[in-house]
Structure 1
């Protein structure tokens, strides 16, 4: 039992260190040696639990996907207006990206390794599509372009990740993405043009 607990602690430390490394420098630049040193765990112990960088990256993806799935599940079955739920989902994703390094690393790994066995977007994009379909029936204007809304929502989430990463590199801080995204949604919902029929 003690041995199993020690092994679980070792795996946890390695996954956390790997998440931080993948988040900071990406898949290619992250090294097992750096992860081993950051976790304070020998290279032998690392390769015992994770024989390759790919298996370690998969563990990080699974961790990030799990946190994202839990957040999505909490919102998926709400009976409130679907558009409100959709916005709340993006705000929750922004919070996770801000606060959970494994979620941020999973998002980056999905982008850098497109054949990822655990794509981060698969944890929330299907729910976004379902909510948009409901919103189209229940509350959107008849002429609302749900395909464009799907693109917008995807860009807002991926742009949030990019903004967080930029702030981390420049200022060493990341908090505030949820509030920032909330302001963007307010702008989207209210519009900015005095002439909403003006051609693009």
Structure 2
């Protein structure tokens, strides 16, 4: 049991170190020896757990996807109105981008490794569904097209990641939290897309 726990801790340390390295330096810019040195774990122990850099990258991607899948499932299971769920979902996705190395690493790796599943395939169907439900229930203005709003949401998520990467490249520059920025953006957007109480009546 102790040996298994130690192996699990080693694997966890390697995963966390690899996620940070892939996020910062990308797939091509990261080597197993760098991860080994940064984690303080021998290269032999690393290759025991992960036979190749590709296998390690897939494990990091899987962890990032799991975090996103959990967030989507949790928020979409709530009983709040669909438009509110949409806002909360985007805020949670951006929170993950801001604070979770595995999610940021997954996003970078999916761009750098051909054939890697896209993270948007996890949350975009939920976004589409929430917008369609909001439209059907009259919570969106009649002029608002759900497909256009889904495109806007995709741009908001991509923009949040871009801002985070710029901030990490120039950490001396002060910047508000990505979640706080997105919350303010939604405060600007919602009055233009939400149906008024009068229209509900």
Match of 1:121 in 2: 120
Match of 2:197 in 1: none
Match of 2:101 in 1: 101
Deviation at 1:68, TM superposition (A): 1.4
TM-score, length-scaled by structure 1: 0.89
Three-state SS of the structure 2 residue aligned to 1:29 is coil
Deviation at 1:174, TM superposition (A): 7.3
Three-state SS of the structure 2 residue aligned to 1:28 is coil
Q: Mind listing any 5+ residue stretches in structure 2 that lack a counterpart?
A: 193-201
CA contact (8 A) 1:75 1:89 kept: yes
Matched, 1:21 2:21: yes
Match of 2:76 in 1: 76
Deviation at 1:63, TM superposition (A): 1.1
Deviation at 1:114, TM superposition (A): 4.3
Deviation at 1:40, TM superposition (A): 0.6
Deviation at 1:65, TM superposition (A): 1.2
Q: CA RMSD in A?
A: 1.6
Three-state SS of the structure 1 residue aligned to 2:189 is helix
CA contact (8 A) 1:164 1:174 kept: no
Matched, 1:143 2:136: no
Match of 1:190 in 2: 191
Three-state SS of the structure 2 residue aligned to 1:27 is coil
Deviation at 1:91, TM superposition (A): 0.5
Larger mean CA deviation between 164-173 and 148-157 belongs to: 164-173
Deviation at 1:181, TM superposition (A): 0.6
CA contact (8 A) 2:128 2:147 kept: no
* CA pair 147-61 structure 1, distance change in 2 beyond 3 A: same
Matched, 1:7 2:10: no
Q: How many residues align?
A: 190
Deviation at 1:27, TM superposition (A): 1.2
TM-score, length-scaled by structure 2: 0.88
Deviation at 1:61, TM superposition (A): 0.8
CA contact (8 A) 2:68 2:93 kept: yes
Match of 1:196 in 2: none
Deviation at 1:79, TM superposition (A): 2.2
CA contact (8 A) 1:69 1:123 kept: yes
1:113-160 alpha-carbon deviations (Å, 9 max, x no partner): 2411x5322332221111111111111122212111111101101110
